[in-house]
Amino acid sequence: MFYKNNDSLEGAQREFQCFFNLGRHGQVPSKHVIKTWIKNFEESGSALKKKPKGRPRSARTPQNIEAVRVSVLRSPRRSVRKLAAVVRLSRECVRRILHVDLKSHPYKLQIVQELKENDHQLRLKFCQQIMTNINEDNEFLDKLWMSDEAHFHLTGYMNKQNYRYWADSNPKEVHECPLHSSKVTVWCAVSSHGVIRPYFFENEERITMTVTSDRYVEMLQSFVAPALNNFPQLHEA
């Protein structure tokens, strides 16, 4: 509208009023606003308000971002504190580069059981044998007992990673625990017929014993075998 009226601000206002059907006394953009729109459009190709440039980056430069990226690729398990010392930047700057510029996230390391080279084949063979037994014997699942043992710490276990407390001053709360935590080993079994109650691997003084092959056989003979008498359906089958 401004250009159609030979760069006339008044002509642009009249065209604006007519285009939006505002009436004779309708509110239209001021001349100052129109001048600002025209200036922005001629400088940047957009009539929108230009974003302020702000303070230039002093630490998160392309060179520093690349240095952090290379260092992380070399040692992905390095802490932010050690990483900041390597690239000679502040911890907060390195943390912002990791999150904002490199889109990285501090993932936790997962602890899993170590598998030997032939463990995959052995597990596959076991699963195939179980499937064969199920297909050949309709009562196989009723004959199957599944058992396992677990260690329970008697002093209590605290995951300090997820524990926090709020206060206006640091109460310096601590949780004391022995160097070698006392624990008990418990065995249990389950099947379609029911559950065999837990068995504690302890001596006569109620002291936890290490589970060995001999003690495991003794447990089967002295505890599990008599416990099976509590399931009459087994004898009926």
- From the first residue on, what is the mean pLDDT of each consecutive set of 10 residues in the chain (237 residues)? 86 86 81 88 80 69 92 88 91 91 84 86 94 93 90 70 64 74 88 92 84 92 91 70
Q: How far apart are CA 68 and CA 102, in angstroms?
A: 9
DSSP conformational letter for 194: E
Amino acid at 86: V
Q: Quick one: pLDDT at residue 158?
A: 57
What does the DSSP 8-state code read for residue 161? G
What is the model's pLDDT at position 54?
Answer: 63
Q: Find all residues with CB under 8 Å of 208, minimum gap 6, and list them.
A: 182, 183, 184, 185, 200, 201, 202
Helix (H) or strand (E) holding 208: none
Q: What is the pLDDT of residue 155?
A: 73
Residue 92 near residue 60 (C-beta atoms within 8 A): no
Retrieve residue 3's tokens: 């250009």
What are the two backbone dihedrals, phi and then psi, of residue 127, each rounded to the nearest 5 degrees? -60, -40
Please give the single-letter amino acid code of residue 132.
T
In angstroms, the CA 126 to CA 142 distance is 18
Distance CA 1, CA 31 (A): 13
